[in-house]
Structure formats: C-alpha cells, structure tokens
Amino acid sequence: MKFDSLCVIGMGYIGLPTASIFASHGIHVTGMDINADIIDGLHAGKLHIFEPGLRGLVMDALSSGSLEISSEVRPADAFIIAVPTPFYEDKRADLRAVISAAESIVPHLRKGNLVILESTSPPRTTVDIVAPILEKSGLKSGIDFKLAYSPERVLPGRILRELVDNARVIGGIDRPSAEAGRDLYRKIVKGDIILTDATTAEMIKLMENTSRDINIAIANEFSRLAQKFDVDIWEAIEIANLHPRVEILRPGVGVGGHCISVDPWFLVEAAPETAQLIKTARGINDEQPAFVAGLIEEAADGLVGKKVAFLGLAFKPNVDDIRESPAVHLAHHLQTRGAVVDAYEPFKENAGLTGIHQVTNLEDALQDADIIVLAVGHEQFKDLDPHLIYEKTKANLVFDAVNSWDKAAWENAGFQFMGLARKY
C-alpha cells in the first residue's frame, strides 16, 4: 500500500518520536494530542520530554511543514494510536485512552485506510475493543479498512535509533492488514519486520517485558537473601555470571517505567489463575522500595526528623521518565518513616509529584542533609567527587541503592557508606 499521510494520536514518549521520524521520511504527519499544554509547547518549540536527538528532529519536521501538531484527529491514509495504557489501583488495564483514540478516528475513517494500535494492551484488545469501535463508522475491518497491532520495543535514551534499527512485529487482524502495516513501517524501519496476527503480537510485547520483570525479581530477591546472609550481592552476581549459561540482572530500588512495571499485570488480569509466577514477581519488585527504605532506616538508626538528600527520581538512569518510578516510591516510603526528603532530579527538575519536595540543584539538596541517598545512577551522580561533597554537607551517612559509587572512596572522604547488600 502507498501512504502519503499519517495521523499519530498521542504525542508522548513514543508518539512524538514516531511522528517525527515518519515526517522526516517523506510522509505528511499530523501529531495529535488532547493535552493543551503539550500542543501549545510544541507550537512554541518546547518539548515536554527529553530524549537524545529528539528536539532537533522535531524542530526540523515542524519547520519543513512535514509535521503538524493538532488537538484534533485529521483525515489520513493511516492512523497510529500511541496513547498511554496505565492501570487502575486494582491493577486492571486502564484502556480509556485507547478507546477514546479509536473513537476519535471513526469520523475520519475511509475505505482503504490503515489503523495501527501501538499502545501496550492486554491480549485481544485489537480485535475485541478497537475493531468494534472503528466499525461504528459503517466500514468493516479487514474488508473496508486494514487494522493491525504493532508494539513499540524501544528503550528510553535510545528511542530514535531503536525505532529505526530494531526488529518490528506487526500483527494484523488478517494477513492483508499485517502486510499493509509492513508497507507503512518499511518507510522508516531498517530492521526485520515480522508478520503475525494481532493477538500474538499483543502477547509478544507482554512476554518480552514480563520475562525481564521476572529476571529482575530474582535479582532483587537475591539481594534480600544476600543482605540476610551478609553477602555482597554485587560480587556474588559478578562471579555467578561467569557461568556460560547464567545471566543474573542487577538488583536495585525496584522496577519502574511504563512498560516493565505495568505490562505483567495485563497478563495477570487476563488469566489470574494461570499467571502465578508473574504475579509473584510483580509482588517482589513492587515491595523492593519498602525493603530498601527499611535498610536506610536501619543504617540511619531511625529517620524521624532527619533530612535526606535524595538523588534521582527517574525510573532509570539518564532519562526524565518518572512513570511508575521505584525511586519515587522509595522517597514516599522514607517520608512515611519520618524523614524529610529533598529530591533532586536533574532531568526533570519540576516533576510535579504529589507530596515530594523537589529542589533544582545538588547544593540545595545537600544543605542541612543528614543522609545522602543515591536512588538513580545518573552519570552526573556517578561522577561526583566525595571529597567535594563532604565540604558541602553536614551529612555523614551515604546510602548507595544502585551500586554506582566506590565505597572506599566515600569512606576515605569521611562518610559512613552503606548500600544494598554491599560489603566492598
């Protein structure tokens, strides 16, 4: 199929890069979002997300006219739905944004169009939810228009490269729909494009993130056991991984981000009686921030009234994404134990998090601090000189939750150093 125009619904961490890359490859793209602040910011040349290389790509696409930003869906040859799919408090998938996006396409759907859902969704969302909504147009999926599911499979910090280089899975409600999706993504994707059915593609996405969640869960459980047995978990993992068939991941504060900490619940929701291991792993990772908070409280001999210089709120190093961040949960747990938390997140200095006081520079975080907690291993934190930090703070306790600092160096500078299952 030939595509000259595209409408991408959702200008978030996936939608905006996707729209911009397509716009740079000869397709006229409308980027649509219902958030007025996002629309106004992009019109003013301000990006609401940080991703290496994205600003230049977006600005070039906007200035050339190949990318237009709108608060409304516009007619196009193809539509991509790239909206968030969070979960409710009871861990059920919140598909309201997907439903709203599909409904917004209906008035503009024409014969020969292609609609692709990219949002991570529970199995059968494409065929059981999206297809019936689109067919309210009077058109029949698979006959009058093509419908497919194609999950994003990228890592924050490398999104622009991985959108192009990674293999792409496209699941159609029928074979012609999958082939139409291949024709669209081939304009930007250099990696392999694998065709399957829509529900299999949905399952693949969930399997990928769930398997990683389970692997992190065993690493986090190992860290708890190592703490109990007075073993340095980092040394133990390094040695264990010398085995040619062993690859234990890094433990830490927990698991975050919009994918790995969310997607497994979609499988638990779909088949709770079967997804027992998945549910257990989720429980382990969700409990890890509380476990780390307990270690900090013990190391500090109590937290009531003590000020914590809390370094990092993002869900992983060197990104600004705070969605489902375990560092945020850790900060809240420290507060519930009586600590006064001043958090510094260099990639998002004003995250607007309820109940968390953010400062805009390291010096303000360190001022009058009793404890320094490293919650996210951003490069600028890894490179801190402990001797210089010692001169800027009265804190005498440092807790490294992510194994980013040299214990001996911080102790030589005058700090008491503790960490997650650290001996050396």
Catalytic residues: 205, 259
**Cα–chain center distance at 123:** 20
Q: How many residues does the chain have?
A: 424
| Beta strands at 146-149 and 168-172: parallel, antiparallel or unpaired | antiparallel
- Measure the CA–CA gap between 321 and 51, rounded to whole angstroms: 10
Tokens of 13: 């961490």
Please spell the DSSP secondary structure of 134-166, one letter per residue: HGGGS--BTTTBEEEE------TTSHHHHHHHS
Contact 98, 130 (CB under 8 A): yes
DSSP strands (E only) in 74-151 = 78-81, 114-117, 146-149
- Measure the CA–CA gap between 281 and 19, rounded to whole angstroms: 35
Tell me the CB-side half-sphere exposure of residue 85, using CA atoms within 13 A.
27
- Measure the CA–CA gap between 147 and 138, rounded to whole angstroms: 15
Q: Count other Cβ atoms within 10 Å, centred on residue 179.
A: 16
Backbone angles phi, psi at 7, to 5 degrees: -120, 120
Contact 253, 289 (CB under 8 A): yes
Backbone angles phi, psi at 203, to 5 degrees: -65, -40
Please spell the DSSP secondary structure of 328-373, one letter per residue: HHHHHHHHHTT-EEEEE-TT-TT---TT-EEESSHHHHHTT-SEEE
